[in-house]
Structure 1
Amino acid sequence: MIKKYVLTCIFYAVMAVTAHSKAQMAGSPQMSFYAVTARYGGTDQDYLYSVNNTSDGGFIMGGYSAAASSGSQDQAGSTGKGGLDYWIVKTDTTGNIQWQKRYGGTGDDQLYSIVQTIDNGYVMLGRSDASSASTGDQAGTAGKGGIDYWLIKTDASGNIQWQKRYGGAGDDIVNGANSLVQTADGGFFIGGYSVAASANTGDQAGSTNYGGYDYWVLKTDASGAIQWQKRYGGNNDDYLYSVKQTQDGGYVIGGNSNVAGGNQSGLNTNGNMDYWLVKVNNAGAIQWQRNYGSMGDDNLSDARQTSDGGYIMAGHSSYGLGLSGDQSGITPYGNTDYWIVKISSTGDIQWQKRYGGASTNYCYAIRQTSDGGYMIGGFSDANSANTGLQAGSPGYGGNDYWVLKTDNSGAIQWQKRYGGAADDFLYSISETPDGYLFGGFSAEGSFNTGNQAGTNKQGGFDFWVARTDKNGHVGMVR
């Protein structure tokens, strides 16, 4: 599975005579940085949503893959289970595949989040339709009704140790790279959103429906047994995308809401959809909850606690109805911009900023970096390239990855676009000891163009990762 290119050799030759570069040749004892851009896939569609570092210095990548990709290209030796399957790829630090596996039943199974566990295995979460229940890797696991959450725990080599479906009588949907964490006690905290028909049925016995879709979270032990579960919502639809454990042992959960009533009593809507952030204790009891927004749609993708005990929220905000509410007085750059909000430990806004080019910019990930600043990422359309805050960043074609490095007050230190000639969609960020790893998926037409010069075509959309140094530079291909 190891691919080598002439470009790699050129890179090494150049770097060997560049004294100030951090990059070193593979295998050198002075090695401090590997810059890698790589595509992974089979002959059909492969969609990457989650990338994380592993304890051995490598990476784990997870998403889902069409049936026709199984057994082909980078999936050689893998077996399709039926429809869409979970697909994970374990690499070394230079992006070479060490192993890869597919997991699924006979229906569609879509993976959104994967993390390494404290025992050096892996846990992965996504959603699985009813026809997958009791089939394939889900043998012996009954469906709850409609779409269910599907959680898998593996050993360090990807072999399944246990797997569980969770749901009520209706559809229960995981839909984001930030929907899973391992907790301090070795268990797991997971979340998504659930239709009204699931309330007080199946694994949701005793839960209350508030109206439409509600946030639905579960706390499990280390074996996946439910310890508690709760729904949170207002009278309208509420969509959960992000869950994190907090320093006090509780949890912060966030997504989007058309705010009205229920758990949201006392809140005032700012427009259509708002960011809705809920802080709960270690048993799920609400400690405080706030909404944030303007007159348009504000869609939160990622929320996490910061080193000062506050929180940072990332998503995107439309401009169609004008800026007001929490965004009064700030400048829009396009019809949809990244919107980052820094709040205190009790939810008060400390600062908030929009970032964008002249058109459409969608944000899906944020990380506080080792220097106390932030790395922010998503994707941006061709019309935004070299405009607004993207001045100096040319477009490569279609949507590109767009990332920004800021200080701890949100001031931009640098920003870059990455892409090929077609569409490239970023959903996940990881900080490495020497830089950053950006992950998502890339259309077939992007291979061997732009930042992907030298990469191989696998087929359809592929997983695409770009590893950079601390200043965002990409140096070679795998």
Structure 2
Amino acid sequence: MKKLYLGALVVCGALRLSGQEVIWQKDIKSSTQDFLSQVTTTIDQQYLITGSSIQAKSQSPAASSQNSNNGYDFHLVKLNQQGEQAWEKYFSGNNHDYLSATVTTQDGGFLLAGTSYSGKGLDKKDDSKGGADIWLIRINEFGDELWQKTLGSTSDEEARAVIQTTDLGFFVAGNIQNSSKGYGSKDVWITRLDKDGKELSQLILGGKGLDEVEKMIPTRDGGALLGMYSRSSEVRDAGAGVRDSGSGVRDAKSVTSGLNIKTPNSESHYSKSSSNFGEGDYWIIKLDKNGKVEWEKNFGGKGDDHIRTLALTSTGFVIGGESRSERSGNKSVGIEEGTDLWLIALN
């Protein structure tokens, strides 16, 4: 899991056209190394700082050795516009729990998505599904828990992104490793939930190699756009779980097997339909509001191209990342030296 060291958070404002001045600085203190995952602007224009920390022993609510807090916890700090702390919260399991992504909900609360190595105990209400799981916690604007859910299988899963959709439900994006129902060493796993956390559908995406989701953004039609780093070739024999529309757009088809997970109403698989241009490519997939694949596209040259971000524009999307490819594949611009940033605008 990628993590950033959290030292001081600096928020700057443009006070003059000639430059910027520091308005305030804030050091979020801890006795251990902390990891920052996200800074989220709240509905009331304040800030929610989310990451992972190890609590001081005196703060741990453990009552027994079976419920002892033995690792990193979800760590949340809400700051006002002056950088003053409004509240601080920890959500703890009995092992390592890393908070990966946060989304502000339309009612002013938040949905937290992280990777959990914990079983049932302390703040975690569900047993482990096996290995690492995805741990979701819905909270209100004050940090009070509304509901929580553990997503997983006998394989290892990690959370990477979460969005709220126009119907007030959620898409959760993560990765799953070495799944017997997957396509390669690592695949992408998408779960769609309603506003109360009920699972509506699941989708596994992948090729014959390693595929990792890096970014997910909501689209205006209630769906989602996925940006994935792919080191995979196409899957030539996709089996019953995939069909081709004949127009170059391949759709996911519901299947009755799946990931050995009992709760979702619909479990689908979607295999990559094109091989990479090089070592690593940008792999873009558009999902509709029901979590079905509308289209996919690969972008890359002969080298290693790693997508990092997506943005919605008035006419489409912008995708960006790092490129080590010269002009090749479907990459129409070269590189100066080593690694360059590579941006693509899509309609």
1:411 to 289, 292, 306: 292
**Correspondence for 1:375:** 225
Note the residue ranges of structure 2 that are not aligned, 5 or more in a row: 63-68, 239-269
Tell me which residue corresponds to 1:8: none
Cα distance in structure 1, aligned partners of 2:98 and 2:137: 12
Which residue does 2:207 correspond to in 1? 357
Per-residue deviation, 1:467:
1.4
- 1:244–1:304 Cα contact (<8 Å) kept: yes
| Alignment correspondent of 2:167 | 308
Q: After TM superposition, give the deviation of residue 164 of structure 1 in Å.
A: 2.5
For 1:253 and 1:272, locate their aligned partners in 2 and report how far apart those are by CA, in whole Å. 20
Q: CA deviation at 1:394?
A: 3.6
Matches within 5 A, 1:116-155: 127-128=4-5, 147-148=6-7, 150-155=9-14
**Per-residue deviation at 1:387?**
7.8
Larger strand fraction of residues: 2
What amino acid is the match of 1:358? K
1:195 equivalent in alignment to 2:54: yes
Tell me by how many angstroms 1:155 deviates.
2.2
Residue 275 and residue 365 in structure 1: after superposition, are their counterparts in 2 closer, same or farther (change >3 A)?
same
Offset of 1:208 from its aligned partner? 5.7
Aligned residue number for residue 333 of structure 2: 454
Whole-Å Cα distance in 2 between the matches of residues 387 and 431 of structure 1?
Answer: 34
The counterpart of 1:438, out of the listed 292, 296, 319, is 319
User: Within 2, Cα distance between the matches of 1:215 and 1:423?
Assistant: 33
Q: Say if 2:48 is the partner of 1:180.
A: no
List aligned pairs for 1:63-142, cutoff 5 A.
Answer: 127-128=4-5
Counterpart in the other structure of 2:178: 319
CA distance in 1, matches of 2:193, 2:34: 30
Do the aligned partners of 1:426 and 1:439 also contact (CA within 8 Å) in 2? yes
Alpha-carbon displacement from aligned partner over 1:436-456 (angstroms, at most 9, x marks no partner): 11122223xx13333332233
| Match of residue 145 from structure 2 | 286
* Number of the residue aligned with 1:134: none
Once the two structures are overlaid, the 10-residue window that deviates more, 368-377 or 273-282, is 368-377
Residue 95 of structure 1 aligns with which residue? none
Q: Give the match for residue 465 of structure 1.
A: 343
Matched, 1:264 2:264: no
Taking the aligned partners of 1:384 and 1:214, their CA distance within structure 2 comes to 38
Matched, 1:251 2:113: no
Aligned pair partner of 2:30 in 168, 171, 180: 168
Instruction: Find the aligned partners of 2:186 and 2:309 in 1 and give their Cα distance.
Output: 19
| Cα displacement (A) at 1:149 | 5.4
**AA at the equivalent of 1:263:** D
Tell me the alpha carbon deviations over residues 390-449 of structure 1, each in whole angstroms, 9 at most, x when there is no partner: 655341211111110121122211101112222122222111111111122223xx1333
The answer as to whether partners of 1:390 and 1:415 remain within 8 angstroms in 2 is no
State the TM-score, normalizing by the size of structure 2: 0.80
Give 5+ residue unaligned stretches, structure 1.
1-111, 113-125, 129-146, 201-205, 323-330, 470-478
Query: Share of identical aligned residues, percent?
Result: 30
| TM-score relative to the length of structure 1 | 0.59
Q: Show structure 1 runs of 4+ deviating over 6 A.
A: none
Choose between structure 1 and 2 for higher RCO, CA contacts under 8 A separated by at least 6 residues: 1
Distance 1:339 1:154 in 2: 38
Aligned length: 305
Out of 82, 89, 100, the position equivalent to 1:223 is 82
Q: Which structure: greater helix fraction?
A: 1
